[in-house]
């Protein structure tokens, strides 16, 4: 089997008929964590939604391969069964579905207890998912939800945004635990993480950073070097054809 878990080739995507991605190429080897940076509206969430197969994102050109299979025409539930999972930037509220019922449906009630404590999420079992949750509570539930599913490829859309400084540490450590190599039967997971704040880089081992601008990945580099570059120079890269690590 190829050691490339996710491969995206020349991906063009429209949202409700509006073109939002204009030729994205991305390869993520098994076990690596990649980080996606980019300004508001550059297409980061659209890319994650297109990988998951969510409406209203329509692939108009290009291919998505996962575990050696082409998935860009597969429905979202099939992609989830294959091992894709996502924490949303703005997840929907599920009225009438309690945290406990959601967890039981996935079959991970015991896990909920241990990880809920680590994420300061005890006492939410009877609450409807995301109904009345604060911004930070929504984000902590999104991480917990991924813990319950343990997808082979975890897509995180701004997992720390809106989370207070103390809980960011809990979120960061939980993501690191989720991704880390635990046992031979539960090996290092693969991830694509969107961040604006970069806080998450203090807690996880990140292998590669990508910069997305105007619906394209315009450069890739060591994630910490790339983040430092963005903090200093903004989202524009040096005017050079050379790879980012040698140019910043």
Ligand X SMILES: Nc1ncnc2c1ncn2[C@@H]1O[C@H](COP(=O)(O)OP(=O)(O)OP(=O)(O)O)[C@@H](O)[C@H]1O
**Residues lying near ligand X in the complex (CB under 6 A):** 15-16, 18, 20, 38, 40-46, 56, 89
Burial class (CB in 10 A: 0-12, 13-18, 19+), 98: middle
Which C-beta is closer to ligand X: that of 46 or that of 103? 46
Burial class (CB in 10 A: 0-12, 13-18, 19+), 94: middle
Which C-beta is closer to Mg ion: that of 89 or that of 130? 89
Alpha-carbon dihedral sign for residues 229, 40, 37, 145: positive
16 binds, among ligand X, Mg ion, none (CB under 5 to 8 A by kind): ligand X
Supply the DSSP symbol for 243.
-
Least Cβ distance, residue 89 to ligand X (angstroms): 6
Least Cβ distance, residue 236 to ligand X (angstroms): 16
174 binds, among ligand X, Mg ion, none (CB under 5 to 8 A by kind): none
Nearest one of 76, 58, 52 to 12, comparing CA atoms:
58
Q: What contacts 151, CB < 8 A, 6 or more positions away?
A: 80, 83, 84, 85, 189
Which C-beta is closer to ligand X: that of 19 or that of 180? 19
Least Cβ distance, residue 38 to ligand X (angstroms): 5
> Which residues within the stretch 68-127 sit at the binding site for Mg ion (CB under 5 A)?
89
Which residue has tokens 């073109």? 19
Q: Which of 42, 45, 87, 130 binds Mg ion (CB under 5 A)?
A: 45
Which C-beta is closer to ligand X: that of 6 or that of 20? 20
Contact (CB, 8 A) for 81 and 153 = no
Which C-beta is closer to ligand X: that of 57 or that of 133? 57
Enumerate binding residues for Mg ion (CB under 5 A): 45, 89
């Amino acid at each position: 089997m190829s050691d490339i878990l996710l491969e995206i080739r020349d991906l063009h995507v429209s949202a409700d008929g509006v073109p939002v991605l204009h030729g994205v190429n991305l390869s993520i080897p098994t076990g690596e964590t990649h980080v996606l940076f980019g300004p508001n509206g550059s297409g980061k969430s659209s890319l994650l939604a297109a990988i998951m197969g969510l409406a209203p994102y329509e692939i108009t050109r290009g291919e998505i391969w996962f575990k050696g299979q082409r998935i860009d025409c597969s429905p979202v539930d099939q992609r989830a069964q294959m091992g894709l999972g996502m924490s949303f930037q703005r997840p929907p509220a599920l009225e009438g579905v309690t945290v406990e019922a959601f967890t039981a449906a996935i079959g991970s009630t015991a896990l909920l207890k241990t990880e809920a404590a680590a994420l300061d999420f005890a006492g939410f079992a009877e609450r409807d998912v995301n109904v009345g949750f604060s911004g930070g509570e929504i984000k902590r539930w999104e991480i917990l939800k991924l813990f319950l599913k343990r997808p082979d490829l975890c897509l995180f859309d701004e997992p720390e945004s809106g989370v207070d400084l103390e809980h960011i540490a809990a979120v960061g450590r939980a993501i690191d635990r989720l991704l880390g190599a635990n046992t031979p039967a539960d090996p290092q997971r693969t991830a694509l993480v969107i961040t604006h704040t970069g806080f998450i880089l203090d807690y996880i081992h990140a292998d590669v950073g990508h910069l997305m601008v105007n619906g394209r990945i315009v450069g890739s580099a060591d994630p910490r070097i790339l983040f430092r570059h963005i903090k200093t120079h903004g989202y524009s890269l040096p005017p050079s054809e050379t790879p980012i690590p040698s140019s910043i």
